[in-house]
Amino acid sequence: MLDPELLARVRALGIKARTIVDGPRVGELASPRKGSSVEFAQHREYVPGDDIRHIDWRAYARTERYTVKEYQQETNFIAYLLVDASASMGFGAQGATKFDRALLLAGVAATVLALQADAPTVVPLTLGTTMEAPAPSSRRDRLERMLENLSAARPSPLQDEETRRPVVATALNDLASRSARRGMVLVISDLLEPLPELMEGFRRLKVRGHDIVVAHVLHGDELELPGDDLVRFDDLESAERLVAQPAVIRDRYRREVKAWLAEFAHGCSGLRVDQFLDRADLAPGDAFPAFLARRRQASRRRG
């Protein structure tokens, strides 16, 4: 399931949260609680009651004022890997569906996070079911079990029209209402859902202090609408059928897709949600590492 080359590149770059997150134990990332840990955070004026051991005497020699050194406690974090397993993710050629690509991204991300001693949890999102997140863990055996569970959740067509709901938006809202600790949320989905609901989910998670990353998985055919002959399009998620001639509607279709992607990107930008597009019809290996590199550079510029 894992692409060694992709794994190596992602591991080299690392997956780090861009915001302050909580973790179950000391780890690589900064904790919001400041104290006398290993990483210097800031100077502040001494106030009575402070431990005099923390006074920076060198600074006193220079400034003749008592200042105290504060350190930031490093911690690990929980990463929620929300993987869309709705029927629409089954689009694509055999072995190169969007879900296959989602599996790959989730596996790589979870493995790298575990190696970083962070606590990933992989949550498959399926239509009509309630999200159940396994306990986050960086233990190898538990990680493998989570990935096996994910693989088992193959996308399947929805039989009952009534239970059709936007799985990602629902999962985001569930997570926002449940999780107490701030962590990273990695959403891997085609996001073929109403954008307002998605954005509301992102917003609620952001309010909770989560760092959100979206791996937007789409197939090239969905972007381009190839072909000339008359085609009957059968919806993967319902019994809906549409007959159309791609050659006739292609331009209009592309304009719609482009507008949708632009609107999504604009919404993410406003919420400080990082996102990248990964085409399932292209070879894996470039989009995710490139995204991580961009994100790392942006963090440095900001820090």
118 vs 190, which CB is nearer to other proteins? Answer: 190
Under rule CB under 8 A, residue 253 binds other proteins: yes
207 vs 249, which CB is nearer to other proteins? Answer: 249
174 vs 222, which CB is nearer to other proteins? Answer: 222
Q: Cβ(81)–Cβ(121) under 8 Å?
A: yes
Phi, psi values for residue 227, rounded to 5°: 100, 155
Long-range interactions of 3-6: CB distance < 8 A, separation 24+: 3/104, 3/108, 3/284, 3/285, 5/285, 6/104, 6/108, 6/284, 6/285, 6/288, 6/289
Under rule CB under 8 A, residue 261 binds other proteins: no
Angstrom distance (rounded) from CA 177 to CA 294:
30
Short-list 286, 148, 295, 136, CA closest to 212: 295
Chain positions 138 to 177 lying near other proteins, rule: CB under 8 A, are none
Under rule CB under 8 A, residue 260 binds other proteins: yes
Q: Which of 244, 271, 277, 290 binds other proteins (CB under 8 A)?
A: 244
Under rule CB under 8 A, residue 93 binds other proteins: no
Where does this chain touch other proteins (CB under 8 A) — which range of 30-38, 43-51, 83-91, 295-303? 83-91
Under rule CB under 8 A, residue 192 binds other proteins: yes
Under rule CB under 8 A, residue 8 binds other proteins: no
Q: How far is the CB of 152 from other proteins (least distance, A)?
A: 21
Under rule CB under 8 A, residue 222 binds other proteins: yes
Strands 92-93 and 96-97: antiparallel
DSSP conformational letter for 116: T
The b-or-e profile of 192-210 (16+ CB within 10 A means b, else e) is bbeeebbbebbbebbebeb
Q: Which of 118, 237, 274, 278 binds other proteins (CB under 8 A)?
A: 237
What does the binding site for other proteins look like in residue numbers (CB under 8 A)?
A: 87-91, 98, 190, 192, 219, 222, 229-238, 240, 242-245, 247-249, 251-253, 256-257, 260
